[in-house]
Amino acid sequence: MDFHRFSFIICLFLFFSLLRIQSVTSSTNSSNSKEGFDYSPYIRIDEDGRVERFNDVTRAPPGFDPETNVESKDILFSPENNLTLRLYLPNNTNQINQNQKLPLVFYFHGGGFFVRGAFNPLNHNFVNNLASEANAIVVTVEYRKAPEHPIPVLYEDSWTALKWVASHFDQQGPEDWLNNRADFQRAFLSGSGAGGNIAHQMCMKNGVYEEKLKGVNFMDLILFNPFFWGREVLAGKTDNRTRGGRVERLWKFVYPNTTNGIDDPWINPAKDPNLGRVGCSGVQVFVSENDFMRERGWYYAQKLRESGWSGDMVVVDYKGEDHNFHLANLTSKNSVDLRRRTVLVINQEG
């Protein structure tokens, strides 16, 4: 069954159609419009602003994955807001010491800030493979999404999750997998699309916009097709202004209170005066030739370099690939290559 391919088409379709949704939104003239809008089969908002979602129902359950030998479980990390994260622990039979400490990787899922979930099968399968190949503990976060919870709620939820995980640094937390197996000196932040944007913002919170997390050392920030935009027109052929206009509308939809629009530092890191203080020692950016956000990934790396930040940085550009190809087919040549490079970063061999 061509499940991956099917999901990928859904994923791509979703990505581009969510940009189209914004045309619908803007044609109703404002977010406080009483008209609402219908964008079945993804989302429908009635005149009172009630949101109905149709596309986020597929959830892979946690548990043991026999293909990768990875165990996963869900944990309520914020009872106040009923928020869950998923922990992945590889159980490699060839592992010499079952008590060996493993690198700790955060992975934030994408979906344009308003669709998809951490437990979507595409994300779950990718993370099982990553956890197994990197021999790392991975954490994914079910953050709340716009428009019900506009930006910055998803950044706050993600930060709450980071703090909850970090509270285990002295092995006194409520969760034994983290107490006993996570190496907090080898922590990583990663994410796909909008999740890459979140991973970057978590690095900015860590010691710049929030207090630095105690006992945690973030080594690398790993961005897969990060969702960044901005008013500057970039030179590359994939900086498509037509689609860019849609990103602008999308941003207003997910963040109605925005004052600077697509030049908010939250979507255009080049506008962040503190960019050079990003709280990670290395940055790895994966971009794809056919992704219209490709140039933004390159630009991010360029601006970070110009900011005076002095860490190690690598940009990898995949020819012939599109947005989030790495989730679509886990066995394709480039998808395997992307994970191989990510594993090298996590194990600090490359």
The SS3 of residue 337 is helix
- Residues 53-72 within binding reach of ligand NAG (CB under 6 A): 71
Stretch binding ligand NAG (CB under 6 A), from 25-33, 105-113, 207-215, 222-230: 25-33
Tell the residue number behind the tokens 């990898």, with chain if given: 316
How far apart, in Å, are the Cα atoms of 231 and each of 18, 137, 244, 250, 261?
20, 38, 9, 14, 9
Q: Write out the E strands in the chain.
A: 37-39, 43-45, 51-53, 64-65, 70-78, 83-90, 102-108, 137-141, 182-192, 218-224, 282-288, 312-318
Query: Given phi > 0 = left and psi -120 to 50 = alpha, else beta, which region is 87?
Result: beta
- Residues 83-112 within binding reach of ligand NAG (CB under 6 A): 84, 89, 91
- Residues 231-250 within binding reach of ligand NAG (CB under 6 A): 240, 242-243
Least distance CB 114 / ligand NAG (angstroms): 13
User: What is the separation, in whole angstroms, between the first and last Cα of the chain?
Assistant: 36
Q: Write out the E strands in 79-217.
A: 83-90, 102-108, 137-141, 182-192
Least distance CB 160 / ligand NAG (angstroms): 15
Out of 103, 150, 196, 226, name the contact with ligand NAG by CB under 6 A: 150
Our CB check for ligand NAG shows the closer of 332 and 347 to be 332
Is 329 one of the binding residues for ligand NAG (CB under 6 A)? yes
Our CB check for ligand NAG shows the closer of 225 and 284 to be 225
Our CB check for ligand NAG shows the closer of 94 and 242 to be 242
Out of 9, 13, 27, 38, name the contact with ligand NAG by CB under 6 A: 27
Our CB check for ligand NAG shows the closer of 243 and 271 to be 243
How far apart, in Å, are the Cα atoms of 65 and each of 90, 153, 207?
10, 32, 36
> Which residues of the shown chain bind ligand NAG in the complex (CB under 6 A)?
2, 4-5, 27-29, 71, 82, 84, 89, 91, 150, 240, 242-243, 256-257, 329, 331-333
